[in-house]
Copies of this chain bind each other. A is one copy, B any other.
Amino acid sequence: MMETKEIVSYVAATLTTVSFLPQAILTIKTKDTDGLSLGMYSLFALGVLFWLIYGIQILDEAIIVANAITLLLAIIILSYKIYNSFFKK
């Protein structure tokens, strides 16, 4: 049986990972990135990349999967922000 603290960590990881899905969907649908911070998504995507590297180093499947998904979602959101900030006429 799983320990309480193990369940808590799984709930936490699921929530923080899944949370970026509604944000990615909203950004794709509205393309409105005015209220999104470029600094946030740059630092956050880089941080999640480091979490992914850490997961690979300690061979922890949950950390790898959660951060691979979060990184993908963060990169999608960041791409819209970069496009709107620098390339939109």
Residues of A within 8 A of B (CB): 4-5, 8-9, 11-23, 25-27, 30, 32-44, 46-48, 50-51, 53-54, 57-58
Overall SS of chain A's interface: helix
Nearest Cβ distance between residue A31 and chain B, in whole angstroms? 9
7 A-B Cβ contacts within 8 A?
Answer: A5-B57, A15-B44, A19-B47, A20-B40, A22-B40, A23-B37, A26-B36
As for how many copies of this chain the complex holds, the number is 2
Nearest Cβ distance between residue A50 and chain B, in whole angstroms? 3
Q: A34-B34, A54-B5 are in contact. Are A43 and B22 (CB under 8 A)?
A: yes
Q: A22-B43, A35-B33, A36-B36 are in contact. Are A54 and B8 (CB under 8 A)?
A: yes
